[in-house]
Chain A
């Protein structure tokens, strides 16, 4: 079930919340939750024993039992990441990734802006468990409120004995790939915010050549609560393979688009209900953002928000982006627009990504304007297999997935365009959000509304 509290008044008891909301409990309507209120709500973060050589921090075992998966899109087991960093010899650095370059995602900036202490708890607990040197919070330079809230929270926390690992805020560029793990590390090391060739992976050689734990902001927020309430508590919600709750950013034709906390395995219908219901017909849903997949409208009524279920539709929740496309939109024009944007987001380093994404965007545009369908479709499939897996990062793979999934799910609309060229809906205002171009407002933008 998705959670939507009518009056989100803070509950000032340090009790383990069995139901939802967990992360979004007591989220203030304006500004950030201060330290006193945060501690009253969740209790003190538990003290971490100083890690000794050859013995593992109990936190890693807790995360393993909780089966916490990373919330930045990769769904990688968090315990494995911590263990890899812990096995390195030098003192570690912990990077909280709230760069959130995904245009349709708002959850990380929401956490940073409203609940910075929960995220910092997680980062500092991880640092303590790893015997880490420092915590760096990476916030997108367009999310100033989040950066400010994080900096103020860090100052407030200096008095917290156990959670007071040195922490600082780093502003990163608002580009799509700036939050990519290796790009983030390159940037923090004084280089360009562009992906690098791996190995070395961050746990081998990250910030200042130290072993580095890079995880998504939401992942750290869950970690903070698992450390307090334990793995069994975490698994009270969710599915066996994907326990716990998750933040999703719901956008499209619903009464109250915004950030919601759901239990894995909740139905899409319950999420839409929590958002006040659909305000228009829904043609399809995009899951996982612009590196994700489309799901056709006719199966949405029975769709379950868990990766196990979504895999049957070739989709995954990724970083929790659920984007509904209305009946009014032209999916072909929307795909062409996003494909062009994705090509422009290439960091320009790997030939197959630079030339391949440009060619893919051109092929989609050809189809949108009435190009010969069989030839163009063959070209798209060929380009897809030519580009996939050939970049230093996963950007080309994600872009191919998004484009080919659109061509498949909107096969009828693409066929119609191939035959008759642009349609009436092509000229309607764009629905899929893209970042504003400098000096020009975005044609479709997301509201910054949070529902706890």
Chain B
């Protein structure tokens, strides 16, 4: 089972914590909003991704479980 990072763009308020905690998958655009690399997370990064999601002040960062069909 694998996971991907996704952002809820309505909830996101550009705090930028996610890019600090998961720079391997998240960078910030010129306005401070996250640019997401939606490739599946590796085993090693899963913990950091969870911490990044928990650290988001608006709970806008989501970990999505990979659907079996693709």
Which residues on A are within 8 Å of B, measured CB to CB? Answer: 195-197, 349-353, 355-356, 386, 390-392
A390, B9: Cα distance in complex, Å: 7
- Which one of B11, B13, B29 lies within 8 Å of A352 (CB-CB)? B29
Instruction: State whether A351 touches B33 (Cβ < 8 A).
Output: yes
For residue B32, which residues in chain A have a CB less than 8 angstroms away from its CB? Answer: 351
For residue A351, which residues in chain B have a CB less than 8 angstroms away from its CB? Answer: 9, 12-14, 31-33
For residue B13, which residues in chain A have a CB less than 8 angstroms away from its CB? Answer: 351
For residue A355, which residues in chain B have a CB less than 8 angstroms away from its CB? Answer: 30-31, 33
Instruction: State whether A196 touches B10 (Cβ < 8 A).
Output: yes
**Nearest opposing residue in chain A for B14, CB measure:** A351
For residue A386, which residues in chain B have a CB less than 8 angstroms away from its CB? Answer: 29-30, 35
Which residues on B are within 8 Å of A, measured CB to CB? Answer: 8-14, 29-33, 35
- Which one of B8, B29, B31, B33 lies within 8 Å of A197 (CB-CB)? B8
Question: Can you list 15 A-B pairs, Cβ within 8 angstroms, ordered by A?
Answer: A197-B9, A197-B10, A197-B11, A349-B10, A350-B9, A350-B10, A351-B12, A351-B32, A351-B33, A352-B29, A355-B30, A356-B31, A386-B30, A391-B9, A392-B10
For residue A195, which residues in chain B have a CB less than 8 angstroms away from its CB? Answer: 10
A356, B29: Cα distance in complex, Å: 10
A226, B70: Cα distance in complex, Å: 34
A351, B11: Cα distance in complex, Å: 10
A352, B36: Cα distance in complex, Å: 13
For residue B8, which residues in chain A have a CB less than 8 angstroms away from its CB? Answer: 197, 392
For residue A352, which residues in chain B have a CB less than 8 angstroms away from its CB? Answer: 9, 29, 31, 33
For residue B11, which residues in chain A have a CB less than 8 angstroms away from its CB? Answer: 197
For residue A350, which residues in chain B have a CB less than 8 angstroms away from its CB? Answer: 9-10, 12
**Nearest opposing residue in chain A for B6, CB measure:** A197
**Nearest opposing residue in chain B for A351, CB measure:** B33
The 5 closest A-B pairs by CB, nearest first: A350-B9, A351-B33, A355-B31, A349-B10, A197-B8
**Nearest opposing residue in chain A for B32, CB measure:** A351
A30, B13: Cα distance in complex, Å: 51
For residue B9, which residues in chain A have a CB less than 8 angstroms away from its CB? Answer: 197, 349-353, 390-392
**Nearest opposing residue in chain B for A391, CB measure:** B9
For residue B12, which residues in chain A have a CB less than 8 angstroms away from its CB? Answer: 350-351
**Nearest opposing residue in chain A for B31, CB measure:** A355
A350, B13: Cα distance in complex, Å: 8
Expressed in whole angstroms, the minimum distance between the Cβ of A356 and any Cβ of chain B is: 8
List 11 additional contacts besides A349-B10, A351-B32, A386-B29; criterion CB under 8 Å: A196-B10, A197-B8, A197-B9, A197-B11, A350-B10, A350-B12, A352-B9, A352-B33, A390-B9, A390-B33, A391-B9
A50, B32: Cα distance in complex, Å: 54
For residue A353, which residues in chain B have a CB less than 8 angstroms away from its CB? Answer: 9
A195, B8: Cα distance in complex, Å: 12
A390, B10: Cα distance in complex, Å: 10
Expressed in whole angstroms, the minimum distance between the Cβ of B23 and any Cβ of chain A is: 18
For residue B31, which residues in chain A have a CB less than 8 angstroms away from its CB? Answer: 351-352, 355-356
A197, B13: Cα distance in complex, Å: 15
- Most chain A beta-carbon neighbours within 10 Å: one of B10, B14, B29, B30: B10
